[in-house]
Structure 1
Amino acid sequence: MRCLLSTVCLAIALGGGTALADQRFPATLAGHAILPAATFVPPPEGAPPGFARSGRFTGPGNARIEAVGSLPGATGPAPNGRATGLSLPFEGQPVQGFSGIAPVKGAPGAWWVLTDNGFGNRRNSADAMLMIHQIRPDFASGGVARLRTVFLSDPQRVVPFPIATEGTAERFLTGQDFDVESIQPVEDGFWFGDEFGPYLIKTDREGRVQRVLPTRLEGKELRSPDNPALQIPASPATRIGFETQRSGGYEGMAASPDGSRLYALLEKPILNAEQQPEGRFLRILELDAARGEWTGRTMKYRLEPNATAIGDFNLIDERRALVIERDDGEGDPGLACAQGQTPPGCFAAPARFKRVYLIDIGDLDAEGFVRKIGHVDLMDIRDPEHLARTAGDRAASLPRERFAFPFFTIENVHRVDAEHIIVANDNNLPFSAGRHLARADDNEVILLRVPELLRAR
């Protein structure tokens, strides 16, 4: 254990095993597997023919573009944006943007991963199909096998608003309908956390919607600016009322070990009556999973000063949970643009704050904040055995024994065993390039040895 706080170290030296404050623990790379960015699947049988291509509405004004590969992907507009080397539209549906991870019951080493809404927002994702995959990372070979794909659909017309495939029999769901960002398997199907409503969505094992649950807090429904019930008013003087921020819905959702409770964690702070964040904290809302009802119990998660959002949230026992906390940067800080310098030869806003926290949801202070026990720094991972499959573009002065996970969005974390956790990025295909200066990020899955973190209480 690496002690950074003298009071904590003193307590441990005197025989106290309980941490008094957030500690930093070491993380050692135990495996690294990569699914290439350009990995695609065909649409399922019965899907409308338009889904043979995806990303047709990602150009200026979301105007239709049919020519495959005619729109170059980039991390953003000039002067700070960098080309990523992949161009839209795509042939097929991309297996990308992993935004939630859960073990496959009865299949050791296999994981459910969730592909999020597609290309970033409702307007450009009508041809991006919502799906989950069973994958198996092979840390010996460095590859990732896709075992199965399940496409989400609404054949029973449970979704209470019009969807992109409204007039079809199968009614496959798209990134225009929901932005699913978190997943929890249950005995008879799956629960998903969405950001557009924000909603919790229950499906059966084949991804068919059974329930869409609006968010309620203190007797009031919370809505995001992308909620389908909201519309732009006729008068510019009329303000649209919403309570959660865009892309601020259920990025993380944990389940109690017995599956009776779900804990849905908003990605960004709720807005107050003045449309300002209520504070530097996030809300955790408890759901009775069997009844499909909010219990009314809430908790608060305090963001660190350098963090802008969370990436994932999963319990490891009755009380302790893992949470990814991050900034909005990507790329190695050693290649940060100097004053007056612009990309593509440097990172304009490099990654600096990427952490996995261990928290205790059973230990709340007087204001309802969960206790942070400790963290590991994903920008400072030990790699003494040189297991990294790629180091990417980074400062030449960095030793080979140091590995980093410098991605914009890191949205997957789960306990593997008593000593290891699994972590994966959301590559925002083809709009993120954190590993390389001019190449779209792959889906990377890493196995980290973190026994001190997992033992901490």
Structure 2
Amino acid sequence: MRLILALLACSAATPALTEEVFPATLAGHAILPAFTMVTPPKDAPHDLWVSGKFTGNQRNEDPMTVEGDVGKAYGGHKTGISLPFIGQPVQGMSGLAMNRDEDGSWFALTDNGFGSKINSPDAMLFFHRMWPDFTSGRVERRETVFLRDPDHKVPFRIANEGTDSRYLTGADFDPESIQYLDGELWIGDEFGPFILRVARDGRVLSVHQTMLDGEALAGPDTPGVVVPDQPGTDFRVQRSGGYEGMALQSGTGLLWAMLEKPLLGGDGQSEGDFLRVITFDTATQDWTGDSFRFRLSEGATAIGDFNFIDNNRALVIERDNGEGDGSRACAEGASDQSACYPQPARVKNVVLVDTASRDADGFIRRIGHVNLLDIADPEGKALEGLKPVEGNFSFPFFTIEDVARVDDTHILVANDNNLPFSGGREIGKAADNEFILLSVPELLSAR
């Protein structure tokens, strides 16, 4: 039976909204283990053969000597995996392309490495072709393609500027969204924020700075922005607030690029509890001049992915900053948080929107959503050891950053596991890369 969720007003000027909550049933579950590494190309600089050397307070070149943890705010739980790594971590997926390859595999993107521009100069950037096998419960990585700039298309100095191969790293871009069109990849970046046009072999073909209302958008990590530049004046994009989702609209070739966090106003504060969506024309390789708004639901702080399911309707992942099962939440004021979650997952939704239906202020209409913390599993599809002790299956990860339509009744969802800094499934263990197949016929047919 469908539930009706009354959403509270997001601001005094916005009337209360009603939004339908649709059921979701687990139809498949597959895992790519957290500790999955890939070997750098033979022509990569020697520095890139060991990654994660700069994730602490000082350089550390001794592999596997410092165990990762989820951070003090999340209980400080260790994850059982230590830095630096020999090789490059495949890590969590930060975006799925709507269009698949000829063999049916999914184009999936790994993000900038270890979470920031400063700590990721030895983290290589790449995308993959992934094949989740829901019969075996395993995910096959069929190909990994490394991003590089041999033709000097990147308009600023990159970390590997002086090398012949010019492989890109997490000090250059933070790739978070990906689309595949006519044999090329389009990648949305968080630092610029930029849109990158990339050849199938990983070569950068062009880089496009974001334009909104005739002005270039910038963030604190955009090349050229330096302290003491002022938030809201010298830059409007929040740190880690660039393109988390970038949907490709069928038939038009338009990229609908959605910022992860609200823009900053002139006072340096958030302009509101909504996200900007800016459209880019892949045919002209230029911004259209149009922009729209996506309203976050109460408790949501960011989005994770954005993909069309037809000409106008699209799926958006919205989330809070929590991770872990709410039934294991720490008691208020608990001093011992070793066996509980101080900030459990509360809001993890896949929202269906109608981009063709917008109000006078440009807000895209929300049709309804499924709750990723309440997934029915009557056939026991959850993999052994990952089933809840009681209640429905859930996907309680900090960053859930992948959603795409599979067919008329199913969607694919996956997480970014922020290796080795996120847990979520089990205290004391790094989160795996989990892919779930969800049966959601009512959501996909809603209008």
CA 1:322 to 1:72, structure 2 compared with 1: closer, same or farther past 3 Å?
A: same
- Within the candidate set 418, 424, 439, 1:449 is matched to 439
What residue identity is the alignment partner of 1:126? Answer: P
State the match for 2:201 in structure 1.
206
State the match for 1:347 in structure 2.
341
SS in 1 for 2:444: helix
CA 1:348 to 1:153, structure 2 compared with 1: closer, same or farther past 3 Å?
A: same
CA contact 1:186–1:259 (8 Å) conserved in 2: no
**Pairing 1:86–2:76 present:** no
State the match for 1:423 in structure 2.
413
CA contact 1:224–1:245 (8 Å) conserved in 2: yes
> How far, CA to CA, are the matches of 1:241 and 1:5 in structure 2?
40
Taking structure 2 as the reference length, the TM-score comes to 0.94
CA 1:5 to 1:46, structure 2 compared with 1: closer, same or farther past 3 Å?
A: closer
Identity fraction in percent: 54
CA contact 1:332–1:393 (8 Å) conserved in 2: no
> How far, CA to CA, are the matches of 2:231 and 2:315 in structure 1?
41
State the match for 1:32 in structure 2.
29
CA contact 1:393–1:436 (8 Å) conserved in 2: no
Taking structure 1 as the reference length, the TM-score comes to 0.92
> How far, CA to CA, are the matches of 1:2 and 1:78 in structure 2?
36
**Pairing 1:298–2:298 present:** no
Greater Cα shift, 23-32 or 339-348:
339-348
1:244-289 C-alpha deviation (Å, 9 max, x unpaired)? 0001000000011125211000000011111111111001001111
> How far, CA to CA, are the matches of 1:41 and 1:427 in structure 2?
16
> How far, CA to CA, are the matches of 1:187 and 1:237 in structure 2?
41
> How far, CA to CA, are the matches of 1:355 and 1:37 in structure 2?
23
**Pairing 1:359–2:342 present:** no
> How far, CA to CA, are the matches of 1:44 and 1:157 in structure 2?
19
Please report the RMSD computed on the Cα atoms of aligned residues, expressed in angstroms: 1.8
State the match for 1:54 in structure 2.
51
> How far, CA to CA, are the matches of 2:348 and 2:410 in structure 1?
18
CA contact 2:40–2:49 (8 Å) conserved in 1: yes
> How far, CA to CA, are the matches of 2:338 and 2:76 in structure 1?
8
> How far, CA to CA, are the matches of 1:204 and 1:188 in structure 2?
7
1:72 CA drift (Å):
1.0
State the match for 1:4 in structure 2.
4
Structure 2 unaligned blocks of 5 or more: 7-16
What residue identity is the alignment partner of 1:348? Answer: P
State the match for 2:248 in structure 1.
255
CA 1:222 to 1:87, structure 2 compared with 1: closer, same or farther past 3 Å?
A: same
1:207 CA drift (Å):
1.2
CA 1:287 to 1:438, structure 2 compared with 1: closer, same or farther past 3 Å?
A: same
1:339 CA drift (Å):
2.7
SS in 1 for 2:48: helix
What residue identity is the alignment partner of 1:223? Answer: A
CA contact 1:153–1:172 (8 Å) conserved in 2: yes
Structure 1 unaligned blocks of 5 or more: 7-19
1:391 CA drift (Å):
5.3
1:407 CA drift (Å):
0.1
CA 1:319 to 1:240, structure 2 compared with 1: closer, same or farther past 3 Å?
A: closer
**Pairing 1:434–2:428 present:** no
State the match for 2:103 in structure 1.
107
SS in 2 for 1:245: coil
SS in 2 for 1:403: coil
1:437 CA drift (Å):
0.6
State the match for 2:313 in structure 1.
320
